[in-house]
Structure formats: structure tokens, C-alpha cells
Amino acid sequence: MNPPAPLPAPRPVGAGHVFLALLMRDAVVVRRELIYFLMRTAMQPLLFTIVFGYLLPRMGFVNRGYTSALLPGVLAVSLALAAVQSVALQMVADFGFTKEIEDRLLAPVASWLVALEKVVSGTGQALIAALFVLPLARLIMGPIAGLSLGNVGLIIVVTLFGATSFSMLGLFLGSVIEGTQIGLLFGIVVAPMIMFGCAYYPWKGLDAVPVMKYAVLLNPLTYVSEGLRGVLIPNQPHMPIPMVLLALAAITALFWRLGLRTFMKRAVG
């Protein structure tokens, strides 16, 4: 009797294939929970749209032209909420009660690629949320004076930069916040960020309050709101687009560095 033939040696799996596999897994989860994902990320911006973009203009408390300043801000909030929640909440769960991060760290890729996959996944989810909110907000508000989709290239660049920078922020927050402190994420970080991120008023309008005008420059949402305002409704007062892109690039690099450091520290710990 001949001895059994030896089994072929397993083929090595490239880091790119593992990265795509992790990304596809997150995509499948989002597809299965798409309704809950959209409810979680789009509900607040759409409620603001109904109150400030539909009810108040028709009641005469604000000018109809206010919707031109509001629409880009609503999109920016959708983008920020979706990106931060998609990355930070998932990581709090992964590091906390599900311990799923342990399985991911056993994947045959460098740990920093696991962190990067979280950011890419969060960026994709933020884009889905923004694409969902834009037509609904436009429908609720009615005609928007000055709205233009002509700057397609700049719209894509600003949107991608905004989604990526907030995914990086989510990586940092998800690595430093414990599960028992998750309330702090919304009470101390997200809520002030939305209210003071120039989402519901243009940055130029803060000329009347100079201290606030410079204080909000510390808020990443300010640059996303102003960038979308500049590329979607160019006739509205807004920051120069090169300044917006430079700031978003710096924010992205800063939070990637901080987020990766805290992620690696907690993963090893």
C-alpha cells in the first residue's frame, strides 16, 4: 500500500487580500443593518432640516435664503456623525464586550492595517450617509438658491477629505474611550462639535463675535461645513477652499498619528 500523498503547502495570503476580506466583512454587516445605520446617522440631520430648513422659513422666523447656508452644514453633520459613530462605537464594542478586535489582530497583517481598515470602512459609511441625506434635505427644504453641482471634482475631494478626517477622529476616540464612558462621546465631544462647527451658520457670520470666530477653528467640523458650502453654493460666504483642504489634510494626519498610537497601545495591552 502506497503512503498517502503529502498535502500541498498552503499558499501565502497577501496583506491586500486580508485587508479586502476585513473590509468586505464590514460591508456585509452594514448592508444587513442598513436601515438601522441610516436611522442612527441621518435622523438628527434630517430633524434639524425639518425644523430649521422647512418650518422656521415658512413661519417667517428666518429668511428663505437661510436654506442656502443650512444645506451644506446638514451634509457636513451627516458626514461627521456617520464617520465618528461607524468607527468609534464599533471600536468601543470591539475592545469592550465583544472582544472582536482580538480576532482581527490575529489576521496575518500588520496591526496598523487593521486600524486603517476601520478608517476606510468608516469613510465609506460616511459617504453613504451623505448621499442619503442630500436628496432628502433638498426635497424637504425646496429650491435652494445658488445650489450648484458643477464643481464635481472639488465636491468629491472635500467630501472624501471630510469623511476621512472624521474617521481618523473616530479611530482616536474609539481607542481612548472605555465602554462605560460612551456617554461622554456624545455629551462632551459630538454635541459641542455640531453646535460650534459652523454647520448652521457661515463662519463669516461670526465676524460679530470675534472670539468665537477664532475658537471654532479648533473644530474639524468647521472646515467640512465651510468646504461643502464653498463647493455646493459658491455664492455663499465661505472659507477659501485651499485653506479648507490644507486644514483637513493636517487634521487627517494629526488624528491618524494619535489614533494609531492609542490603537497600538491598547491592542498590545
- Cα–Cα distance, 126 to 164 (Å, whole number): 9
Nearest Cα residue to 96 out of 175, 174, 184, 179: 179
Nearest Cα residue to 79 out of 244, 173, 179, 220: 220
Q: Whole-model pTM?
A: 0.87
Strand, helix or coil for residue 160: helix
What are the pLDDT digits (tens) for 185-230? 777 888 889 899 999 999 999 999 999 999 999 999 999 999 999 9
What are the pLDDT digits (tens) for 143-192? 888 888 888 899 999 999 999 999 999 999 988 888 777 777 777 888 88
